[in-house]
């Protein structure tokens, strides 16, 4: 009887965790939609002053990840981030987007980028709450997880995994992206 009770509680807990993850994915999706819409309105209002290539990159990135929030996870991004770290240059040199966002006329786009990176970081931390709880007893674990997720979320929000290189194609195929960005 006790085992049946434990089984029912476990199934209920798993169902609640899955439902909570779906809700968190919807929250992230709507935040990214709102940031994408804010970015588009900014370009409509100030189309002569805004760097068009930076806008197109951010718009594409936000559109892709709006569609992929349910399957966006630390585990899906980790292999590509490790490969980029050891064999690529995404984390070592500033990208054109980073340089463009540092320009004063692109300050609002940089704010959208930073908000998206923060939203993705929060989403990944919440999605992997069990991993965070398991790492809490260590001193270095949570710090490393936070820094890793922050670096990954910054790279994701910058579109370092949505460009035309082969690792970007690998991430999009891992995430199941087959069509054009919406």
| C-alpha torsion sign, points 104, 109, 176, 24 | positive
- The rounded distance, in Å, linking the Cα atoms of 88 and 173 is 19
Q: For the segment 108-167, what is each residue's pLDDT rounded down to a tens digit?
A: 888 999 999 899 888 988 888 777 676 666 656 666 677 777 777 777 777 665 544 444
Q: For the segment 170-179, what is each residue's pLDDT rounded down to a tens digit?
A: 444 455 444 4
Q: For the segment 68-85, what is each residue's pLDDT rounded down to a tens digit?
A: 888 888 888 788 777 777
User: pTM for this one?
Assistant: 0.66
For the chain, the structural domain boundaries read 25-175
């Amino acid at each position: 009887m006790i085992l049946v009770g434990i089984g029912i509680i476990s199934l209920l807990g798993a169902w609640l965790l899955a439902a909570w993850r779906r809700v968190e994915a919807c929250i992230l999706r709507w935040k990214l939609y709102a940031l994408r819409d804010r970015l588009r309105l900014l370009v409509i209002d100030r189309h002569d002053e805004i760097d068009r290539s930076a806008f197109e990159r951010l718009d594409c990135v936000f559109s892709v990840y709006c569609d992929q929030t349910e399957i966006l996870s630390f585990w899906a991004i980790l292999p590509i981030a490790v490969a980029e770290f050891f064999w690529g240059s995404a984390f070592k040199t500033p990208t054109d987007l980073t340089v463009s966002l540092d320009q004063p006329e692109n300050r609002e786009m940089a704010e959208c980028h930073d908000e998206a990176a923060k939203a993705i970081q929060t989403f990944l931390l919440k999605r992997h709450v069990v991993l965070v709880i398991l790492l809490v007893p260590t001193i270095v674990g949570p710090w490393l997880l936070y820094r890793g997720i922050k670096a990954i979320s910054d790279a994701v929000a910058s579109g370092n995994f949505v460009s035309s290189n082969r690792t970007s194609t690998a991430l999009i195929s891992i995430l199941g992206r087959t069509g054009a960005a919406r």
